[in-house]
Amino acid sequence: MFTWGVLDALAARPDVEPVAYAVTWRGRGEIGQMLPRGVVPARSPMAARPLRWAWMRWNRPPIEWWTDEVDVVHGTNFVVPPSREAGEVVTVHDLTPMRFPELAHEATLAYEPLIRRALERGALVHTPSRFVAAEVVDRFSVGADRVVAVAEGIPPLPDVTADEQVTAGAPY
């Protein structure tokens, strides 16, 4: 819901042309059906396993292989693809895979080196809380000026009358 809300808000701006990508092979073909109006899907699927493997070792291939030129690329779930020239933002929701690797799947164990590579490229980090922001600063030895806590929030609620808000449309 977080990513959809961000894309929907960006698509409503006249000065932004959002392009959505999904690093998944299994979900290929589904992204176009899931996007808010005004958001263009990346032009081809992105296979997660080989791309994560490549991105842990090199800053290739760049996101522009799938999106054309972009100004900013936002990795909303621990992984931000490298870019030729665009600014990079990576969302780190928590440090569970790093603090408790015994609870993590193999794929999520790759998050730490992928985040480190992104930071080496100059990425900024978005976290959902100041607590996680402080953990990121400590764990990755990155300046606090590169880590921003912004709560993910909820999508706007539909317009309803005061009575409907109180009763949720049912007698009480």
Asked whether residue 163 is assigned to any structural domain, the reply reads no
Compute the average pLDDT of residues 16-33.
90
Instruction: Tell me what pLDDT residue 32 has.
Output: 85
Q: Which of residues 81 and 164 earns the better pLDDT score? A: 81
- On whether residue 129 sits in a domain, the answer given is yes
Residue 166 is assigned to a structural domain of this protein: no
- How many percent of the chain have pLDDT more than 70? 89
Express each pLDDT in 48-62 by its tens digit. Answer: 999 999 999 999 999
Mean of the per-residue pLDDT values of the chain: 91
In a domain? residue 168 = no
Full DSSP string of 60-72: -S-THHHH-S-SE
Question: Looking at the 3D structure of the chain, how many domains does it have?
Answer: 1
Two structure tokens written together for 165: 């808000």
Q: Which amino acid is at 151?
A: A
170 in a structural domain = no
Residue 167 belongs to a domain: no
The whole-number pLDDT of residue 29 equals 80
Q: Where residue 138 sits, what CATH number does that domain have?
A: 3.40.50
Region 109-119 average pLDDT = 98
User: Does residue 34 fall inside a structural domain?
Assistant: yes
Q: Percentage of residues in the chain with pLDDT exceeding 90?
A: 78
* Residue 172 pLDDT exceeds 50: no
121 located within any domain: yes
Q: What is the domain range of residue 143?
A: 2-155
